[in-house]
Structure formats: C-alpha cells, structure tokens
Amino acid sequence: KVYNNYFFNESAYDYHDGGYIPLEVSDAPESKLNIPEVLKPDKETDTDIWYTVEAQPGETQILPGKKTKTWGYNQSLLGKTIIYESGKNYHVTLKNTLPELTTFHWHGLDVPGPYVDGGCHAPVFPGKPSEINFKVDQPAATLWLHAHPCPLTGWDVWHGLAAPVIVKDQEEAKLPLPRNYGVDDIPVILQDRTFDENNQWNYDKDYDPDGTEGKTALINGTVNPYFDVTTQKVRLRFLDGSNRREWRLHLSDDLVMTQVASDGGILPEPVYMTKLMITCAERAEVILDFGKYKPGDEVTLYSDDTPILKFKIHAFAPDNTEIPDQLTKIDYPEVDPSAPVHQVVMSGTDEEVEINGKKFGMMRIDDRQELGKTEYWDITNTNDCCGGMIHPYHTHGGQFKVISRNGKAPYPNEHGYKDTIGVNAGETVRVKMRFNYPGIFMYHCHIIEHEDGGMMAQMQVWTKDDPHKKYKLMDMKTL
C-alpha cells in the first residue's frame, strides 16, 4: 500500500498562521549538497571513545559574495556528524568558543539528566570546557545535537548550532539498507533562513514569537543543492532542524519514499508514501529507489511547491535488494494500570504559550515519574482558533511509543520509537513512556520560539533510594 496524502490535516498546516513565510527559490546558483564530515574520535579503545565537540563562531560561504556569519560544532556552520555505537562508553569534551554560554543537548539520546542530557541546566561557558561521560545503549537511529540555553535556544539554533548524530547497532547493521555514509546514506537537515543584502541572517529582525521562519530553504547549510546519485537506492535521514517550519515533502513523478525509521529508530514495518510531512525536530529515514531513471535524469524534492533538493542521476549498478516487510520488533514495556496518567496541556499562541497553565520555571519541577516504570502521558493541544496550529511535542530522556490520537490509531509511520510528535489542534495524543536514567528532564513544544517563550516544563525521574534527590538547577535570572 502506498499512502498518497499527508497524514496531518490541511487545516493544521503552518501556513494558516498569520506570520507564515512561504519558501521562495533563491537566485543563487546550484551547489553540491554539503555532506557533513564524520567527527573523528580523539582516542578509542574497544569499549570507550573520546570526542571533542566545540561550539564555535565562524563565517560560511553559502551564497556568492559575502560570507554569512554562522555558528557550528567543530566547523563554521551546523556540525560534523557524530556517530555513536550502541554498547560503547563515551567521553565527550564540550568546548565553547562563542561569545556567550551555550549548552549541548543530545536530542533523542537516552542519557541521564539534567547535565549529560545538556538542557538548560548544563551551561558550558566560553573558555571553560567540561566533560560528560555516558554509555550509549539504544537502537540505531538518527538523532541530533543542538544548543538548548533557556531562553535562547532559538537564537543559538538559528545561528547554526545543530548537528546530525547517528547511532549504530548490530540489529540495524543486518538489514538490507544503504549505509555507506555520504554515498548512499546522507543526512538531510531541513532549515530556512532569510538572507539580507549582505548575505547575513538577522534573528532579531526575523523573530516571530510563534516561530521564526526564513524564505530560503537551507539544506545541510546549502542553498539550491543537488546530490549526485551513484547508487540505485539512497537513504535520506531527514531532520526538521527548523525553528518553526513544517516540511511537506514529495518528489517529482511522485516517486515513492519508503520510510524505514522514525525519531528513535527502525520502524516495525516500512511505510510507502508519496507525501511526508515532518514537524520541528522530527526525523524520518526514507529510502528512495532510482531504479527507473537513467544517467542524466533529474529528480526533484519539493516542500509544498518549492523545489529544495535536486538528485542528479549518474550510472549505477542495478540493486535488487528488497526491503523486508518486517524490519524490527518494538517491545515497549506495559503500563502499570494503577499508575496515574500524566497530563500535558499545551495552550496559547505568541507570548501566551503555556503548559498546564504555566510558563516554564527553571527552578520548578512540574511532574515526577519513577525510574524504570512505564506510564501514560496524555498530550493535549487546546489551540482551536482559526484552524489552530500543530505543536510538535518533545520529551527529553528517551523514546516513547505512541498509543493513540484522540483515541484513534496513530499515523502509519508512528509505530516505532518517537521522541517528538506533532499534536494537532484540539487533539490529545496518548503515549507511553519509560525512563532508563534518573534526573531532571525537560518536555516542551519544539517550535523553538514557543519553547523559549515558556511552552516548556520539566520532570524528575526518581529512584527509590533517593526519591527527592536535589540537582543544581540553573536559574534563568542568573543568565
């Protein structure tokens, strides 16, 4: 079965918002799609790997003429791809050479909070490196690293602080999927920016409390990109790294996308579709099969009606591998029926955004869950005015399993592990969630200006031996 419609309803699309900025095609020349290099370890043994990740300012040649002032991890814009192998121990030195503090948040990584997780309680100050140590123990997935200082996440990410993180494991390695990084397996980071006449970005000028958008698509930091296809099948690891924009993806000739993974890993079954909508911070891995094309052909990826990435077909060897009907099994633990159901109500727009009637308080713990227990979380979006808007809900601290949308089945591509989910206006999404590490974890709308504006809360995952463990929390006032 091939799905030919977006799973979300048109009435909820971001372009119903008064501040929506449509994408425009830039008159810049075509450039080769930037593929971030893989970050090299400083040192490694059979069990342990050491990395250094540096948040740095720089300048990037994005358009002809003046370079754009940008920020990045170990490079001037975005970041090198970090590859983690499940089962290994990591020691990561975090360096900051920016003019201000930042944090290093591992979105989707199953690690203790709040310091390793890298939310707002884990500042790294300029010139004062810190080190985090953790074990990676989760299924293969596409995750990401981004800055998360509150309330300046929007500012940091807009400047470029976002990098792909790929987790590998032995189960995924056995599946017949492309995995030759940079050749047939590529990250595709979807972002949008407006360039001024000096080729600069102006966050303050473009700022919108309902989510900042730009008019030019920026794919892996490239404007008007093309990718040279040299294999019949290509795996795209889509990441919506935009502050606000939803991407409604489809290809010329309605070429089918086979989605094989969502935020937290491989889907139980592949989902075949010609249209895929991805909301802020979500990931989707899709396989494209270019078998019917010949050298010289071009295939174009669009978001709505705007071309955003061109695939130039070169000669390739035939590839008859088939994607299996069953990719993996998701064994999420059962919920204890006596456990209370957590409630998260996202309300308001612009400056009025809240969770459960409150704005984020850095020193306040809003909810609690015991380590290792699986419990339901009901996530509600009460916006109903004027078609309402989708709030992409995200929780730190692990992956959840989507149970239902307003009591009905989740969308066909939501049967795997997720850490972010687009909640429609007037909808309650029920998920079940289990935490594997203790700590303080944030949960919030991933429209980054909503998060910065207070549509965020935090919970404590507690353990029996120290149920009210005190963590040093960063007070917003000290910023």
Query: Which stretches within 128-202 are classed as H helix?
Result: 153-159, 170-173
Nearer to ligand C2O, 165 or 249 (CB): 165
Instruction: Give the Cα separation of 36 and 444 in Å (integer).
Output: 28
Q: Using CB under 5 A, which of the segments 88-96, 191-199, 271-279, 389-397 binds Cu ion?
A: 389-397
Identify the residue among 162, 229, 355, 445 touching Cu ion (CB under 5 A).
Answer: 445
CB nearer to Cu ion: pick between 3 and 377:
377
Query: According to the binding rule CB under 5 A, does residue 190 interact with Cu ion?
Result: no
Of ligand C2O, Cu ion, none, which one does residue 447 interact with (CB within 5 to 8 Å by kind)? Cu ion
Query: C-beta of 165: minimal distance to ligand C2O in Å?
Result: 11
Number of residues that bind ligand C2O (CB under 6 A): 11
283 interacts with, out of ligand C2O, Cu ion, none, CB within 5 to 8 A per kind: none
Name the DSSP class of 38. B
281 binds ligand C2O (CB under 6 A): yes
CB under 5 to 8 A by kind: which of Cu ion, ligand C2O, none does 94 bind?
none
DSSP letter for each residue of 274-335: S-EEE-TT-EEEEEEE-TT--TT-EEEEEETTEEEEEEEE-----------S------PPPP
Among Cu ion, ligand C2O, none, residue 148 binds (CB under 5-8 Å by kind) = ligand C2O
Q: Which does 430 bind (CB under 5 to 8 A by kind): Cu ion, ligand C2O, none?
A: none
Q: Which residue has the tokens 């937290």?
A: 264
Query: Distance between CA atoms of 201 and 198, rounded to whole angstroms?
Result: 9
Residue 358 to residue 420: CA distance in whole angstroms:
21
Beta-carbon-side half-sphere exposure of residue 343 (alpha carbons within 13 Å): 6
Write the CB contacts of 339 (distance below 8 Å, at least 6 apart in sequence): 373, 374, 375, 376
Pick one of 80, 244, 396, 432: the residue that binds ligand C2O (CB under 6 A): 396
Tell the smallest beta-carbon distance from residue 253 to ligand C2O (Å): 34
The answer to whether 159 and 71 are in contact (CB under 8 A) is: yes
Q: Which of 245, 394, 405, 434 binds ligand C2O (CB under 6 A)?
A: 394
Nearer to ligand C2O, 12 or 442 (CB): 442
Q: Tell me how far apart the alpha carbons of residues 224 and 239 are, in angstroms, rounded to a whole number.
A: 18
Looking at 396, 401, 434, 444, which residue binds Cu ion (CB under 5 A)? 396
- CB-based contact 443:450 (threshold 8 Å): no
* Residue among 396, 391, 389 nearest 419 (CA): 396
Applying CB under 6 A, which of residues 95, 107, 159, 283 lies at the interface with ligand C2O?
107
Q: Which does 237 bind (CB under 5 to 8 A by kind): ligand C2O, Cu ion, none?
A: none
- Is residue 248 involved in binding Cu ion (CB under 5 A)? no
CB-based contact 450:211 (threshold 8 Å):
yes
- Asked whether position 148 contacts ligand C2O by CB under 6 A, the answer is yes
What dihedral do alpha carbons 243, 190, 121, 100 form, nearest 10°?
A: -80
Scanning residues 440 to 479, which ones bind ligand C2O (CB under 6 A)?
Answer: 442, 444, 446
Binding status of residue 107 toward Cu ion by CB under 5 A: yes
CB under 6 A: which stretch of 23-31, 195-203, 315-323, 439-447 binds ligand C2O?
439-447
Of 80, 105, 235, 405, which one interacts with ligand C2O (CB under 6 A)? 105
Which residue number, 107 or 121, has a Cβ lying nearer to ligand C2O?
Answer: 107
Q: Return the residue of 80, 95, 121, 146 that touches ligand C2O, per CB under 6 A.
A: 146
342-347 and 306-313 beta bridge pairing: unpaired
Which residue sits closest to ligand C2O, CB atoms considered?
107
| Smallest separation, CB 230 to Cu ion (Å) | 34
Residue showing tokens 């895929």: 276
Cβ atoms within 10 Å of 209's Cβ, excluding its own? 17
Q: Hunting for tokens 């900042």 — which residue is that?
A: 212
Would the CA dihedral through 362, 283, 141, 237 be positive or negative?
negative
In terms of CB distance, is 445 or 474 closer to Cu ion? 445
Catalog residues that contact Cu ion under the rule CB under 5 A.
Answer: 107, 391, 396, 445, 447, 450
| Interface residue list for ligand C2O (CB under 6 A) | 105, 107, 119, 146, 148, 281, 394, 396, 442, 444, 446
